[in-house]
Structure 1
Amino acid sequence: MKFVCDVCSAGLSRPATNLKRHHKFLFNEEQEHSCWYCERDFNRSNNVMIHTAFSTKCI
């Protein structure tokens, strides 16, 4: 079993320790939040919540 990000499909072997590290959001020039890992931008907090949803998948 491995935790996989539903949006950018990044695999995390230890989600408890890597979840916060994986989703670091930075402010760009348009003042939007951007995930440093998959570089996806978000305008609203609800989109961030959807983006940070993780599921388990067999590999």
Structure 2
Amino acid sequence: MFWFVCDVCSAGLSRPATNLKRHNKFLFNEEQEHSCWYCERDFNRSNNVMIHTAFGTKCI
């Protein structure tokens, strides 16, 4: 398992992205795409899913 920082969650933080917070962690799956549970929880209010990729963020 590989853990990384969610750029969306950490976008508003003044600390560097290397300083992890619990909700900033997300897990790559076999397709190298993943969902940040913290972001997705808020984003799903509009019935969309926010997917964080290694190269940025997209909405599907």
- Work out the number of aligned pairs and report it: 57
Gaps of 5+ in 1: none
| Structure possessing the higher relative contact order (Cα contacts under 8 Å, 6 or more residues apart) | 1
RMSD: 10.3
Gaps of 5+ in 2: none
Scaled by the length of structure 1, what TM-score is found?
0.26
Q: Which has the larger radius of gyration?
A: 1
4+ aligned runs moved over 3 Å, structure 1: 3-19, 39-59
- Distance in 1, matches of 2:45 and 2:31, equals 13
- Distance in 1, matches of 2:45 and 2:59, equals 31
Over the matched positions of the two proteins, sequence identity in percent amounts to 96
Scaled by the length of structure 2, what TM-score is found?
0.26
CA separation of 1:10 and 1:27: change in aligned 2, threshold 3 A:
same
